[in-house]
Amino acid sequence: QLSTTFYASTCPNVSSIVRTVVQQVMNSDSRIGASLIHLHFMIALSSDSIQSEKDAGPNANSARGYDVVDNIKTAVENSCSGVVSCADILALAAESSVSLSGGPSWDVPLGRRDSLTANRAKANTALPSPSEGLANIMAKFSAVGLDTTDLVALSGAHTFGRAQCRTFSNRLYNFSGGNPDPTLDSSYLAALQQTCPQNGDGTKLTNLDPSSADTFDNKYFTNLHNNRGLLQSDQELFSTTGSVTVSIVNSLSSDQSAFFDSFAQSMINMGNISPLTGSKGEIRADCKKVNGS
Ligand code: HEM
């Protein structure tokens, strides 16, 4: 029961306020759009609020963007005090991040409220890890009502942003019987081994999309065709023989506008995962904590 016109009378300019702040930050930080949508994903999948995910295992060190959410919140509060939730701000920031990076735009359904709790245990188990295998990741998406098309389309968000060596270095040296992941293209493997030496700094960053690092396009899917998916969870979408994901990758790699349409729809689906609405939850004053805590 979210609605794209939810703030039409209470905060009619909310979308452009959010977009302006995201644009400003992008001018000096080309990665911030990716970081904001990544944050939106983590929060959507753990159906929980900002505070809790921040320190959960799979996200430790990986959640950038909290400060920017605070800045957006301040800008929104200056125009319309106390009416727009942090959850809606993040959903709008995700859309701005994509459209300002060359991707699709869409009308964001709004009217979410912020949770009254923070649940670290749930964040730890509901979030997929890049090495846990396609079947498990499909099950985690399915558990929140997202199907295989959503999984493949949304994984296309790895068309921009960065990942730390520790999130894929298992593929580089000792993946199967002492060898690197056999699905990795050999020159890409060599480049990644240079970036991420064995026993090196696991927090070092590299581009998720080696062909167009900061642009939102469908090169992510052509990378998979060329065995240049960075995370194991990326490459498995294409390299798992017989998986239904293969034909979806094929169709999205051959048609960017089909990817954009699918992505926008799947973002709406992701944003619809059990939102708090009506009188449930609250409108947080500070996005990092429950009111009064
Ligand atoms: C399918 C399961 C997914 C897995 C296993 C996964 C895993 C990861 C990992 C390990 C990283 C690197 C984090 C780090 O190094 O700190 C990452 C980054 C990222 N993820 Fe995903 N992800 C998934 C789905 C998604 C979805 C659905 C979206 C958004 C719709 C998304 C958007 C991003 C973006 C944009 C980044 C880069 C963030 C930045 O540069 O700050 N991911 N993901």
Per-residue CA distances from 143 to 146, 201, 213, 247, 268 (Å): 7, 35, 31, 23, 17
Nearest CA to ligand 1 atom 6: 130
Looking at ligand 1, which atom is closest to the CA of residue 45? 27
For residue 58 the two structure tokens come to 């799979």
Pocket lining for ligand 1, CB < 6 angstroms = 31, 34-35, 37-38, 41, 62, 64, 128-130, 137, 151, 154-155, 157-158, 160-164, 167, 208, 231, 233
pLDDT digits (tens, 9 = 90+) for 152-204: 999 999 999 999 999 999 999 999 889 999 999 999 999 999 999 999 999 99
Q: How many residues does the chain have?
A: 293
- For atom 19 of ligand 1, the residue with the nearest CA is 38
CA atoms within 13 A on the CB side of 188: 25
> How does strand 205-207 pair with strand 162-164?
antiparallel
The secondary structure element, H or E, covering residue 163 is: strand 162-164
Q: Residue 125: what pLDDT? A: 80
12 Cα–ligand 1 center, Å: 31
Q: What residue's CA is closest to ligand 1, atom 40?
A: 161
Nearest C-alpha to atom 11 of ligand 1 is from which residue? 163
Residue 60 has pLDDT above 50, yes or no: no
DSSP-derived secondary structure letter, 276: B
pLDDT averaged over every residue in the chain: 93
Complex ipTM: 0.99
C-alpha span between 231 and 209 (Å, rounded): 10
**Separation of alpha carbons 221 and 153, rounded Å:** 10
pLDDT for the residue 279: 96
